[in-house]
A and B are shown apart, each in its own frame.
Chain A
């Protein structure tokens, strides 16, 4: 499954809402989709699994939704530390695949 993330770069200001898209080339089985955040020079961090389940310690301003081929990561009221690169990953079909990433930058 090929995952296409859009936009490639999203420019927003702190306090705004971010909407990141992840589109799959075919249906993702059982909503097995995860989202990760990666800060420069750091390892990725799990945000969401199962399309909509927040990982331990993730603030509730992060939410995931979607099914089938269309998934969304929403970040409400952006904090300065939210500006990073975000990756989606599907694990419903073999092989596991990642999207190419969306860079969320400060406007």
Chain B
């Protein structure tokens, strides 16, 4: 059974870097057809896609966050990570890692498995 588990800093100071890691069990992140996504949800609001790393290693970011986001993978540990720089209070959200069933022709996806999410608060 596929499981995704987020870990990382829960409280981040403004202007600092938010760092999260997602450990995947029950499937290899190198399996074809899937992307490994980060999605966030500010308290009481909707879902916002941040970016993903494809099984091939290609990486795609949301245009609105592209200048501040980096996603990386550590295949030996079957995990992938998110760094978000220069954070502000607007970055306070529950951050989810998730597996996307990905169309290789348009690189778009829907999510079939989610992590439980981790609340990250940006505050001094």
Partner of A32, one of B63, B108, B111: B108
Interface pair A94/B107, CB less than 8 Å apart: yes
Docked pose: A29 CA to B30 CA in angstroms: 28
Given contacts A43-B116, A44-B111, contact A92 B106 (CB under 8 A): yes
Closest-by-CB residue of B relative to A29 is: B106
Docked pose: A98 CA to B106 CA in angstroms: 17
Interface pair B110/A95, CB less than 8 Å apart: no
Interface centre among B46, B49, B101 (most CB of A within 10 A): B46
Docked pose: A92 CA to B108 CA in angstroms: 7
Given contacts A87-B46, A95-B63, A101-B46, contact A43 B114 (CB under 8 A): yes
Docked pose: A55 CA to B112 CA in angstroms: 8
Closest-by-CB residue of B relative to A46 is: B112
Q: Which residues in B have their C-beta under 8 angstroms from that of A94?
A: 106-108
> What residues make up the interface of B, taking CB atoms closer than 8 Å to A?
46-49, 62-63, 96, 98, 101, 103, 106-112, 114-117
Q: Which residues in B have their C-beta under 8 angstroms from that of A29?
A: 106
Category for how many chain A residues contact B:
20 to 34
Given contacts A43-B96, A43-B117, contact A96 B112 (CB under 8 A): no
- Is A89 at the interface (CB under 8 A from chain B)? yes
Partner of A96, one of B108, B116, B117: B108
Interface centre among A29, A46, A91, A93 (most CB of B within 10 A): A91
